[in-house]
Amino acid sequence: MDSDGRVDLPALRRLVARLCAADVDSIGLLGSTGSYPYLPREERRRALEAAIDEAGGRVPILVGVGALRTDEAMRLAQDAEAAGAAAGLLAAVSYTPLTPDEVFEHVATVARASGLPLCLYDNPSTTHFRFEPDLVIRLSRLPGIVAVKSPGMEPQAVAAHLAALRDAVPAEFSLGYSGDWTVTEALLAGADAWYSVVAGLFPQVATDILRAARAGDADEARRLNARLEPLWALFRQHSSLRVMYACANRLELCHTAPPRPILPLGAEAQAQVAAVIRTLDLR
């Protein structure tokens, strides 16, 4: 997007085409790395329509529909359903901390009003609300609630989290995780999906890890993950959002800056990003 928050559609189409060519399983549009909370409804609709047109049915698109108000999230989900999105990603976005019952009603209302399949987006570091297993289980039994995107966890924690959910949710309900530097162990523990930041620009390095894990080759999956530790370190130090903006600019995939008040990385951090791209041969 430009400094006024207008989506750069040609640049977005290039990114979508790049992902389609990499044969990814799905594309996550307007997630946290896509800076969705900073975009008004019309810009989110423009982005969605362009992405779906570019994908041309080759790859399903999951689109962020989170918003502060339930009625606004309903309208965004209705837009997504009308445009042909495969599913919506719904976070418990709020200024006032929400209760589990409030989140349950919020999700149920958006699902009922839109008819769009929804993935719960558990992002407590941003929303300050955590989808505890009992709430995920309750929601998984509602029509249209098809998946959960849980935050990254340490290996023992993710194994326990999966165990708490696996036998209590419907068999077709997908259990996925984010937190790129922790996801390899989640995949090896039996997670269904990786909601990846790095794959948005570098799909091959992510799909290599995913395929090794799916094949049961734990040594190879861990080797590939360990190779990316310099990038994971930058994510942890500067945030994956800022690093991915710097990577996209460095590779000239687009020319943009994070939405203010978020500032681009400084010169020293930009040099670190350039060095990691060069060392890891990311492209």
Q: What is the pLDDT of residues 257-272, one digit of tens each?
A: 999 999 999 999 999 9
CB 206 within 8 A of CB 199: yes
152: left (phi over 0), alpha (psi -120 to 50) or beta: beta
The residues of the chain scoring below 50 in pLDDT are none
Residues β-bridged to residue 27: 61
CB 276 within 8 A of CB 282: yes
Ranges assigned E (strand) in the chain: 27-29, 61-64, 87-91, 118-121, 145-150, 174-177, 193-194
Helices 267-280 and 240-250: crossing angle in degrees, nearest 10, is 70
CB 193 within 8 A of CB 176: yes
Catalytically annotated residue among 38, 95, 149, 245: 149
Residue 177 annotated to the active site: no
Helices 229-238 and 240-250: crossing angle in degrees, nearest 10, is 120
Q: What is the pLDDT of residue 3?
A: 87
CA distances from 37 to 79, 84, 91, 94, 234 (A): 16, 21, 11, 11, 23
Residue 149 annotated to the active site: yes
Catalytically annotated residue among 36, 38, 95, 121: 121
Return the amino acid letter for 237: Q
Cut 0.85: pTM above it: yes
d(CA 119, CA 45): 19
CB 187 within 8 A of CB 25: no
